[in-house]
Amino acid sequence: MMQMRDAGVLVVGSGLAGLLTALRLAPRPVTLLTKTPFLAGGSSDLAQGGVAAAVALDDSPEDHAADTLEAGAGLCDEAMVRLLAEDGVREARILLEEGLPFDLDDDGAPLLGREAAHGRHRILHAGGDATGRTLVGALVERVRNTPSITVVEGAFAVELAMAGDHVGGLLACHADEDWVFHRCPRLVLATGGIGSVYLRTTNPPEATGDGLAMAARAGARLGDLEFVQFHPTALAATSPGQSKPMPLLTEALRGEGAVLLDGQGRRFMPDEHPLAELAPRDIIARAVWRRLEAGEVVTLDLRPALEKAGIERFPTVLAYCRAAGLDATATPIPVAPAAHYHMGGVVTDANGRTSLPGLWACGEIADTGVHGANRLASNSLLEAVVFSRRIAADIAGLPLAHPPQVPRLLPPSVPAADAAGDLAAITLDVRRTMYTRVGLWRDGDGLQEARRHLAALSERLDGLPAVRGGGFAEVARWGEARNLLLVARLVTEAAWRRRESRGAHYRADFPDLPGPGQPRQFLTLADLDTQPD
Ligand SMILES: Cc1cc2nc3c(=O)[nH]c(=O)nc-3n(C[C@H](O)[C@H](O)[C@H](O)COP(=O)(O)OP(=O)(O)OC[C@H]3O[C@@H](n4cnc5c(N)ncnc54)[C@H](O)[C@@H]3O)c2cc1C
């Protein structure tokens, strides 16, 4: 049985981007869907560092923009970066005025942290290193207390419904009600990133790129897909591929003196870069990766940092280690690079509009152009803060629209419960392929091989016997597998086409950094069928 519902505005995803968009739209009626059984889900909850904004007296939006452009390695949209930095100051002040629980000094001014590649102290944080959890917790409470927002947890968004080239609805599988067709004239995708496409990731398992895949299937313009930022030191205590995010061993540890050791217990970063453990993220990540590929165990010795800064400085990290059965005060901790953040996504303008009328994108799913080839730390939460406001204002400024006459989508046939093993095997294969061929270290042969292999996996997935009437678990399992596979193919295609090294994209067959300066790359789904060789 399928239900029909009319939503004023439908927001899909309840991380920072979705929660803020819904709140900024109040008192307009909003339906907020999330696939996890609880609010909020997603990466927002895990954010440690904070929100970058030039609120300090000795800082300016110009300086923040300059640092962002520098990190973006020549591929940022400059106008969007300036907008981010300028709006960022105002929006950060509004969040403070609204009483979000940022860490404050005795005078009530925000305490500001400093992170790599920021020229100033400009990171607002909350709950120490638990910024995401603290902010999201406060926003969830506000959402629950806002009568105009209808929250639906356990609702898996499956497909966008098109009325011509307009987005006019969404088919979703609800855990408690079966299939629901949401007609809506305005739809905001806030479904987060794609970390789960990789074998090792700091992202939660729900980061499977669902929104990106849905938008791609609907024909949206996608951009900068090849740029995936890896964090160099994720705690590698569990076997890769488990459906748990890998905990971050924060950069601040290296800032306080923690050192990386190879399989023989020797420090190797001084041979790799003059800044040793404080070299740029990508350089450290590749140095670690090469040693892991050679079969070594790479460890981070936290003890110098713990001795210098005191163990009370790193409670979250020490708790992660303890939970993995490791005592960081006694022994070096195994690490591996892990996919952390996707710079690319669904291309949007300054108001979050995508190339498809009726569809907006906000947060990590969006490609606003502010990150270029590499994200400056703590600019992603800021991006969600700034663009959620602009999207809400844009939607509120449009005339009240009636639900479009959009052809109803029928529930798809999905692989039955006994195909779970096949889906898991395909997913693991995708994640391995992406980590080894389309991760930190890419070359033409590996990318070509990955393109062919992923296309073959796609055929295998399409060929699994399917039945009508699958429940939420089957739909979500199949939906995530096919979305992850499509996103993997798109990222691989973009990486194959960028024949240079730039920012987070390193091609061993074009190793000179920076490369000749290929412009930003935009793709649509159709480009997968017209692959140049
Ligand atoms: C460990 C870690 C630390 C980080 N630290 C920082 C930091 O300090 N500062 C910073 O700026 N950035 C940081 N980042 C990045 C930042 O957290 C993310 O970019 C940001 O939180 C993304 O927010 P979002 O709202 O776009 O997506 P998310 O928070 O990932 O939320 C996505 C939402 O979409 C829902 N969803 C997905 N698919 C579907 C579907 N098919 N149907 C229905 N719902 C769906 C999910 O359930 C979830 O609610 C960090 C990331 C990680 C992983």
Which atom of ligand 1 is nearest to 363's Cα?
26
**Ligand 1 atom at minimum distance from 365 CA:** 26
Of all protein residues, the one whose alpha carbon is nearest to atom 27 of ligand 1 is 192
Q: What residue's CA is closest to ligand 1, atom 35?
A: 13
Burial of 457 (0-12, 13-18, 19+ CB in 10 A): buried
Q: Residue 242 — very low, low, confident or very high, per pLDDT cuts 50/70/90? A: low
Q: pLDDT digit string (tens) for 323-362?
A: 999 999 999 999 999 999 999 999 999 999 999 999 999 9
Q: What is the C-alpha to C-alpha distance for residues 132 and 125, in angstroms, rounded to an integer?
A: 9
Pairing of strands 345-347, 222-223: antiparallel
User: Contact at 8 Å (CB) between 227 and 342?
Assistant: yes
Return the active site residues.
Answer: 281
Q: pLDDT by residue (tens digit) across 30-61? A: 999 999 999 889 999 999 889 999 999 999 99
Percentage of the chain surpassing pLDDT 90? 81
Closest CA to 416 of 463, 483, 459, 467: 467
Tokens representing 134?
């603290």
Taking the model in full, what pTM does it have?
0.96
Q: How confident is the model at residue 255 (pLDDT cuts 50, 70, 90)?
A: confident
Give the other-Cβ count within 10 Å of 422's Cβ: 16
Helix count and strand count (H, E) for the chain:
14, 22
User: How far is the centre of ligand 1, averaged over its atoms, from the C-alpha of 38 (Å)?
Assistant: 14
Whether the bond between 514 and the residue before it is cis, its omega within 30 degrees of 0, is yes
For ligand 1, the distance from its centroid to the CA atom of residue 504, given in whole angstroms, is: 19
